[in-house]
Amino acid sequence: MIYSIVKTTAASCMEVDWDYIPVLNLSSNDGVQEVEFNTSCRMCYNDNGILFKFYAEDDKINCTMSGYNQPIYNEETVELFIQPTSDLHKYVELEWNAIGGSFLANINNDLKGNAAISLIQDNIIKSDVYAEENGWSVLGFISKKLFDAEMSGEWKFNAYRIKRRSDNSMILYAFAPTIDPAFHQPDKFAVLKFL
């Protein structure tokens, strides 16, 4: 799977006309189930980094953590895993929830089912959450300083969502489904192609 990320002259997320940015829609991570809650992501980039917008359809927000680098992945999140180099072992994990929680870490994956998480202490991601009709959205900016690579050519990435129903059962969505419940499968990442 390929997502073509377009360049913009916009300096901030609020200046982007998101209707003209290609959309990627998340599907069931197991590749079988119907999508109960539409979830999409749009990304573009400028000279300073990547701008993004997630939209998450929702019936009830099941989040309690609003701080930085709390384990929000144990509740509900939208997520980006971005791998700017060809090294499958190393990538960045970024997460946001509906009440302002965010998470940022470097990952070192041994490709044998173990992903070591190294939290990034300074929250360098600018993001804001907005109420939407039938859901919520998060708009943000990811500085190119986070990546040890030029924003050109082809990177690898995936976009995910964790949604909890009212009975606390979990729904997993992905752009490039991993089939297995574990999201940390860089061999299944999609291509992020810079235009």
Q: What percent of the chain has pLDDT over 70?
A: 100
Number of H helices, E strands in the chain: 0, 14
Q: What CA–CA distance (Å, rounded) separates 190 from 159?
A: 9
Positive or negative CA dihedral for 92, 127, 79, 194? Answer: negative
Cα 85 to its chain centre, rounded Å, is 17
Beta-strand runs (E) in 58-189: 77-83, 90-96, 102-109, 115-119, 126-132, 135-143, 154-164, 170-174
pLDDT of residue 75: 94
CA–CA separation, 21 and 14 (whole Å): 13
User: Taking the CB of residue 174, how many other CB atoms lie within 10 A of it?
Assistant: 25
Q: What is the pLDDT of residues 29-82, one digit of tens each?
A: 999 999 999 999 999 999 999 999 999 999 999 999 999 999 999 999 999 999
Q: Rounded mean pLDDT of 152-158?
A: 98
Say whether pLDDT at 167 is over 90: no
Q: What is the DSSP letter of 133?
A: T
Domain span at 87: 2-194
Whether the pLDDT of residue 165 is over 90: the answer is: no
Does residue 78 contact residue 91 with C-beta atoms inside 8 Å? no
**How many structural domains compose the chain?**
1
pLDDT of residue 77: 97
Mean predicted lDDT score pLDDT of the chain: 96
Please give the Cα distance from 115 to 128 (Å, whole number). Answer: 28
Task: Reply yes or no on whether the pLDDT at 166 is more than 90.
Answer: no
* Average pLDDT, integer, range 172-179: 97
Residue 148's pLDDT is 84
What CATH number is associated with residue 172? 2.60.40.1190
Work out the number of other CB atoms within 10 angstroms of the CB of residue 133.
6
Q: Span 76-92, mean pLDDT?
A: 96
